[in-house]
Structure 1
Amino acid sequence: MLVAAACMALAGSASAQLFENKDWVESPAPPAPAFDASRLIPIEMPTYLSLRFGIDPATIVITGDGVVRYVVVASNKAGGATNAFYEGIRCATGEMKTYARSNGGAWEVASQPEWKIFKLQSSTHTAALASQAICRGSAPRDSVKDMVGHLRNPIREVE
């Protein structure tokens, strides 16, 4: 069963890359935006996870190259450590990139951020965020307002 699921994930990624625009160039990522933990909208996650994830809707930006950038915050359900990540999702290829991280202090910029297929990288929060709110198939949703609406009322779509 796991082998079949892995094969399907690879096949989906391979087809996305097969039809990928070879001339695509990512726009430069601006510095990580300020975020406010009081504005976080929770991302619906499996109950077995020990972390909670939320996204600050004021940080969501859809760029002209099809990348959606945002700040997501992870915190331990038992209290304690909180970490923030400035990430991007590319719906067209099912990839994500982490541009910077913060553990409550200043942002630490990733030295060489790379696009990674989020379903194969154990990025459970990224996969959940993409399917619940950010992506509509292989494209970003039409607007940040639409994304925020789906964050507040997640509807799982068939992939």
Structure 2
Amino acid sequence: MRRVERALILAGLCALVAACSSKGYNTDNPDWAQGGMPLPPKVTSTDAEWQESEAPPPPKFDVKRLEPIAMPPYMTLKFGVDPATITITHDGVVRYVVVASNTHNQNGSLNAYYEAVRCSTAEMKSYARFDNGAWEEVKKPEWKSFRDLNSSYSRQLATQGLCRGNAPRDSVKDIVANLRDPARKLQ
């Protein structure tokens, strides 16, 4: 009887593997069993080989379009990202304009930053700062780890919408949907 049970179990496992492979599932992906879920992009280059694409000039932004970034309640600065400024590049970089405003400041001053997040390394880079109505480029922009930053808004933005684990989300539409509902499960 044991032989028959083993043969049936083995046949069942073979059928399961055959069924999964016939539908084009990538079983190297831990999410392979969640049918219909797009696979995150695979990184094929090492960090030494990786080259960042050239950053275009800062895009125009509109404070009326800002999607808020959820921050700890003790923060006096409020942060938001303009969805129209978000781009996902072929090299895995997500660029955007984030706006910081102080709700307690009577003159309603705000600052904006043209930045990028690299999901695969948990780093951000600042290209330019908007202050007094004009962009001022950062002289030597460099990638900085989220752990080394004074403010956590870049990490918050990455986890709330820009990244899906160690990869950028599939589209700007997907990013905006996750920013609007950061408590959503990965879908």
TM-score (norm 2): 0.71
- Alignment partners' CA distance in 2, 1:44 and 1:86: 19
| Partner SS, residue 119 of structure 1 | helix
The aligned counterpart of 1:40 is 66
Q: Percent of aligned pairs with the same residue?
A: 58
- Alignment partners' CA distance in 1, 2:174 and 2:184: 14
Aligned counterpart in structure 1 of residue 98 of structure 2, from 72, 87, 104: 72
Asked if the contact 2:178/2:184 (under 8 Å) is kept, the reply is no
- Alignment partners' CA distance in 2, 1:90 and 1:41: 20
Deviation at 1:126, TM superposition (A): 0.3
Partner deviation per Cα, 1:120-152 (whole Å, 9 max, x = no partner):
212310010001100111100111000000011
The aligned counterpart of 1:56 is 82
- Alignment partners' CA distance in 1, 2:109 and 2:158: 24
What amino acid is aligned across from residue 119 of structure 2 in structure 1? C
Asked if the contact 1:132/1:156 (under 8 Å) is kept, the reply is no
The aligned counterpart of 1:29 is 55
Deviation at 1:77, TM superposition (A): 1.8
Cα RMSD between the aligned structures? 1.7
Whichever of the two has the greater Rg, that structure is 2
What amino acid is aligned across from residue 83 of structure 2 in structure 1? P
The aligned counterpart of 1:111 is 139
Higher RCO, 1 or 2 (CA under 8 Å, sep at least 6)? 1
Matches within 5 A, 1:68-147: 68-79=94-105, 80-147=108-175
Asked if the contact 2:93/2:116 (under 8 Å) is kept, the reply is yes
The gaps in structure 2 that reach 5 residues or longer are: 1-44
- Alignment partners' CA distance in 2, 1:21 and 1:84: 29
Deviating 4+ runs (over 2 angstroms):
155-158
- Alignment partners' CA distance in 2, 1:133 and 1:110: 25
Partner deviation per Cα, 1:43-86 (whole Å, 9 max, x = no partner):
00001011000000000000011000000000002133200000
CA, structure 1 residues 84+46, in 2 after alignment: closer, same or farther (shift >3 Å)?
Answer: same
- Alignment partners' CA distance in 1, 2:184 and 2:153: 14
| Partner SS, residue 133 of structure 2 | coil
TM-score (norm 1): 0.83
| Partner SS, residue 120 of structure 2 | coil
